[in-house]
Every structure is written in structure tokens, then in C-alpha cells.
Amino acid sequence: MGGNLPEIRTRWSEVSGGIDAANAYQRRFDELARRGADLDGEARFVHGLREAPARILDAGCGTGRVATTLTRLGHDVVGVDADAAMIEVARERDEVTRFVHADLSTLSLTAQTFDIVMMAGNVVPFLADGTLVEVLRRMRAHLSADGLLVCGWALPGHQPEGAAAVSAQDAERAAFAADLSLVARYASWDAQPWPGDGSWALTLHRPR
């Protein structure tokens, strides 16, 4: 898949991959949008944290669902994903946002820091097993001194097929190891109080 680019193995690449899967992923969202579903919760939350134009890294951007909305809202957005086909679809749909094919666990965007680094839509449980601390270290390295890392994912028992069971405690231990400190935790992208019904975690961290 993805022309000559090397495949990056993640939990996501075990359940997806290739241009047909990426197009099908995007079609599902297009269909939901046609039926009037609200797909902008993540972008709205992040937009509320920093006035535009903020520098935002959408880490695990997929086909650019959130990144493109944030660009339209006036932010300066870079999307990064390990799935070359998802990046291909993102670039076809949006020629303004910069989309980069790269592995978050080794990410090094030269001389670039961000006001917000976000991991939306179950990126955390679709990482390769055993890489969460390294990924969070790389995300921290891309944050400005007063930047925020924003992560939202489905908790154990509610995660999609093929995704890992990552509890809030697992994530907090990894964040601590990555020298990040917790600023706030919610139960949803519309900031329902933690722990809500226990199905979802949304965490905000800053560099320690």
C-alpha cells in the first residue's frame, strides 16, 4: 500500500490498510455527515482551548476529518499518520493542511512546536503495543512550553475491534513517564465530568 513508502506497523495496520479501506473509512463519515451527525466535537473542543490561528498537530489524523475542520476554523494544522493510504485520502480532500506520513513513536518535525498536540478518535488504543510512552515523549517534544496535549479514546470494554484496552490509569502512568502532568480529565469531547459512564476518556496534559 501507499506506493513506495514503507509500511508502519500499528494495531490500526492490523485491521485496516490500503486505499480501499481508507476510502471506506472516509465514506462512513461522509454518510454520517449526510444524515446530520455532529462530527465536529473534537475540533470544537480544541478550537475552544486556543484562539485561531493556533499551531495544532493532529497526531494520528487518519483522513483528516478533524485536521481539515480546524484548518477551516483558521488554525495552522499539521496532520500526521502512519497509514499511507489514509494520508493519501486526506491530501486529496484538503490541499491546504500539511499531511505527513510518519510514525508518531519516532516523529521529528524539524524545528516545529505546537500550541496543541491532539490524538483524537482512538489513536491511543490503535498504537503498536508497548509504544505509548515513546509516542507521548515524542508528542511532548513537539509541544511549546505552554502547549497542551489532548487525547481522547474509548476505555476498556468500549474500544473498537482490534484496539488495545488502555485504561485511564495506564495512560496516566505513561504520561508520567513521558514527563507530562495532568491538567484535566473529562468523560467526553463535550467536556462531561469525569468519569461519566466509564466509556470514554479525554485528557489534557502539559509538559512537566
Ligand X SMILES: C[S@@+](CC[C@H](N)C(=O)[O-])C[C@H]1O[C@@H](n2cnc3c(N)ncnc32)[C@H](O)[C@@H]1O
Rounded CA separation 40/147 (Å): 22
Task: Tally the C-alpha atoms within 13 A of residue 64's C-alpha that lie toward its C-beta.
Answer: 26
Cβ at position 187, least distance to ligand X in Å: 18
Give the one residue of 54, 56, 66, 136 binding ligand X; rule: CB under 6 A. 66
83 binds ligand X (CB under 6 A): yes
Q: Are 102 and 58 in contact (CB under 8 A)?
A: no
Cβ–Cβ contacts within 10 Å for residue 193, how many?
A: 9
Q: How far is the CB of 154 from ligand X (least distance, A)?
A: 10
Q: Which residues of 6-18 are buried (b: 16+ CB within 10 A; e: fewer)?
A: eebebbbbeebbe
Residue in 55, 65, 138, 205 binding ligand X, rule: CB under 6 A: 65
Per CB under 6 A, does 88 bind ligand X? Answer: no
Whole-angstrom Cα distance, residue 62 to residue 49?
A: 22
Segment interacting with ligand X, rule: CB under 6 A, options 97-105, 143-151, 170-178, 197-205: 97-105
- Among residues 57, 89, 104, 149, which is the contact residue for ligand X, using CB under 6 A? 104
**Measured distance CA(140)–CA(143) in Å, rounded:** 5
The site for ligand X, by CB under 6 A, has a size of 21
Does the footprint of ligand X cover residue 138 (CB under 6 A)?
Answer: no
Least Å distance, CB 159 to ligand X, is 10
User: Which chain residues interact with ligand X by CB under 6 A?
Assistant: 10, 12, 60-62, 65-66, 80-83, 86, 103-105, 120-123, 126-127
